Structure 1
Amino acid sequence: MKDTPQQGDGVLIVGEEACRALVGRAEAFAAVEAVFAAMASGEARNFPVVREAIGHADALYGFKSGFDRAGMALGVKAGGYWPGNAGRGLTNHQSTVCLFDPDTGRLSALVGGNYLTAVRTAASSAVSIAHLARRDAKVLGMVGAGHQSAFQLRAAAEQRAFEKVVAWNPHPEMLPQLAEVAASLGLPFEAVTPEELGAQADVVITITSAFEPLLMRDWIRPGTHVACMGTDTKGKMEVDAALLAAATVFTDEVAQSVSLGEAQHAVAGGLLSEGDITPIGAVINGTHPGRTSDDEITLFDGTGVGLQDLAVASVAARLAEAQGVAARVVL
């Protein structure tokens, strides 16, 4: 079965509500894990990212695209970040995915990208936890309490038998919302300082838009797994560059990691080289051992690649087609 419909049938339009109903955490995890594996084996390739400040509304806008031969997904996600949207009752991240028929190049589907971006980003860190965190991890640390943090927390909680959540956010008034998510999962929640978070957490997820380190190397214990999920643009930074130098570093795509991901600062400072960074798909495929000891610090630099978006959008289009819950138009 093809992941997306043929152009002769019209273009499938899959809206945000349909995506939310069709693609859950399990579907997103499977799609993202598969596309990371395809990237590592050379069956899928991301194309260069375009991401620019547009000079209006403080917005960042860009394109992520690629082709997954294994999943037969070809397309582009267009969108970006509008920091003033929260005041308008909208999410700050806005995007749409265009899928094309790999055999003809014709447009096959337009898929809402806002929910899918959040769920695939959470799936990415969850994949890293599944493959890199210690099996006995008990405390989950969350740095950031914005829109995507709830997705991150729910996805992470399914990967290990966590017994507690500790969290810190630059704006502490946002933490009660995250505490409600933890409570819904039956997990005790504690608001802490960044230093206390590092002292307690076995797994740390950072999901902020910071431009300076929020976690320092000396605060992170041996054996911790850190998933850095917020840095996706030149200049952004969530953790101390020395932490990457002390860790075994994995990523979704090495080229993005060194140019616009969390590793950009460690590489620029000479603390890390491109050859020190391993695609997580190599761990999934079994060509890299991943974590090799309980004392090893592992770090996943989740830069967010276009193939993740195409993978989850293809799932949404396929399920929408099968269930008849999307509109069609002929262009």
Structure 2
Amino acid sequence: MDSQTEMQGIVIVGEGVCEEVITRADAFGAVEAVFAAMARGDAYNFPVVREAIGHADALYGFKGGFDRAGLALGLKAGGYWPGNMDKGLTNHQSTVCLFDPDTGQLSALVGGNYLTALRTAASSSVSIAHLARKDAKVLGMVGAGHQSTFQLRAAAEQRDFEKVVAWNPHPEMLPRLGAVAEELGLAFEALTPEELGAEADVIITITSAFEPLLMADWIKPGTHIACMGTDTKGKQEVDPALLSRASVFADEIAQSVSIGEAQHAVAEGLIAAGDITPIGAVINGTHPGRSSDDEITLFDGTGVGLQDLAVASVAARIARARGLGEVVRLG
């Protein structure tokens, strides 16, 4: 046995262990660090594969990359099975495969469902930490699906919010957000999208919409918006004109202009790829971020494979150190 992977074996970290070992703070730190590494050129994402497989109406694909700084190499394999809810399963299913960057050997298999929700929330909360006004008091939530509660909990840790205002196309789903707000000691109110835009200092959109839900004229000066739902060609959550009014930041510019919220503004000629700043540049201090209290900032969070590898690496490391999960010896 001449490698660390051979000596330690492959650690298999299931969904339950992931929930036990990794915290929101862990996810925030991992995502922030990998965004910074991307902006420095120390980490890069591989091309995304995403296919309709012609069975069970499923979309299946791969996201991967290599973080030289964090020595995370691997991929997330998985997708969306729309019929899973009827089977008592989560529609999104994924697994992260981590490899030893020195040998190419498989080092860990990590459940990706919980970690995907955690890393997506960490992404928007990183943007809030670095771009939202320090005196932000009202958090706006557009969307009330499974991911929304993760978003709300993570965002609430970044500013001293006093109130949550929310809208969802299916209003019967809003009580789940109200319950989390109450648990966090925050006032909660359901509003129309226009009312939400007029009141919120920070807005998170987390829907699967294919049309704008927030119009540019509804957003007040100084607002920070994290657009987290658009990750596919054709999806859309906000008015393209909003991106021309805002300072736009993204996890990865290439994905932002092709499958992210910026795809529509770019297609209409309202902005260009050169108008978008990697959030990692703000983290690294090479871009100042917000320049005034009246500036509207917008983060286009498309979701990149390196986020998955970053949080999965933390989960695998902690699980191995605590003797959790299952270890399979090689050879």
TM-score interval for Structure 1 and Structure 2 normalised by the shorter chain: over 0.9
Q: Deviations over 1:13-46 (max 9, x none)?
A: 0000100011110000000000000000010000
Paired residue secondary structure (2:98):
strand
- TM-score (ref. length: structure 2): 0.97
Confirm or deny: 8 A CA contact 1:7 1:101 kept in the other structure: no
Alignment partner, residue 260 of structure 1: 259
Alignment partner, residue 310 of structure 1: 309
Alignment partner, residue 147 of structure 1: 146
What is the alpha-carbon distance in structure 2 between the residues aligned to residue 101 and residue 281 of structure 1?
25
What is the alpha-carbon distance in structure 2 between the residues aligned to residue 56 and residue 214 of structure 1?
31
Q: Is 143-152 or 84-93 further displaced after alignment?
A: 84-93
Structure 1 residue 222 and structure 2 residue 221: aligned? yes
Which runs of no fewer than 5 residues in structure 1 stay unpaired? none
Alignment partner, residue 272 of structure 1: 271
Alignment partner, residue 207 of structure 1: 206
Structure 1 residue 51 and structure 2 residue 50: aligned? yes
- What amino acid is aligned across from residue 100 of structure 1 in structure 2? F
Alignment partner, residue 27 of structure 2: 28
Question: How many Å apart are 1:82 and its aligned residue?
Answer: 1.9
Question: How many Å apart are 1:246 and its aligned residue?
Answer: 0.8
- What amino acid is aligned across from residue 275 of structure 2 in structure 1? D
Question: How many Å apart are 1:84 and its aligned residue?
Answer: 2.4
Alignment partner, residue 112 of structure 1: 111
Question: How many Å apart are 1:58 and its aligned residue?
Answer: 2.6
Confirm or deny: 8 A CA contact 1:261 1:303 kept in the other structure: yes
Alignment partner, residue 286 of structure 1: 285
Structure 1 residue 185 and structure 2 residue 164: aligned? no
Confirm or deny: 8 A CA contact 1:101 1:107 kept in the other structure: yes
**Closer, same or farther: CA 5–321 of 1 in aligned 2, 3 Å:** farther
RMSD over aligned Cα, in angstroms? Answer: 1.2
- What amino acid is aligned across from residue 239 of structure 2 in structure 1? D
- What amino acid is aligned across from residue 87 of structure 1 in structure 2? D
What is the alpha-carbon distance in structure 2 between the residues aligned to residue 280 and residue 53 of structure 1?
31
Structure 1 residue 16 and structure 2 residue 15: aligned? yes
What is the alpha-carbon distance in structure 2 between the residues aligned to residue 180 and residue 200 of structure 1?
20
- Identity between Structure 1 and Structure 2 (%): 80
Alignment partner, residue 85 of structure 1: 84
Alignment partner, residue 98 of structure 1: 97
Paired residue secondary structure (2:186):
coil
Question: How many Å apart are 1:9 and its aligned residue?
Answer: 3.0
Alignment partner, residue 121 of structure 1: 120
Paired residue secondary structure (2:232):
coil
- What amino acid is aligned across from residue 175 of structure 2 in structure 1? P
What is the alpha-carbon distance in structure 1 between the residues aligned to residue 99 and residue 251 of structure 2?
23
Matches within 5 A, 1:226-245: 226-245=225-244
What is the alpha-carbon distance in structure 2 between the residues aligned to residue 126 and residue 11 of structure 1?
32
Q: Deviations over 1:258-280 (max 9, x none)?
A: 11111111111111100000000
Question: How many Å apart are 1:52 and its aligned residue?
Answer: 1.9
Question: How many Å apart are 1:171 and its aligned residue?
Answer: 0.8
Confirm or deny: 8 A CA contact 1:7 1:107 kept in the other structure: no
- TM-score (ref. length: structure 1): 0.97
Q: Deviations over 1:257-307 (max 9, x none)?
A: 011111111111111100000000000000000000011000000000000
Matches within 5 A, 1:62-73: 62-73=61-72
Paired residue secondary structure (1:97):
strand
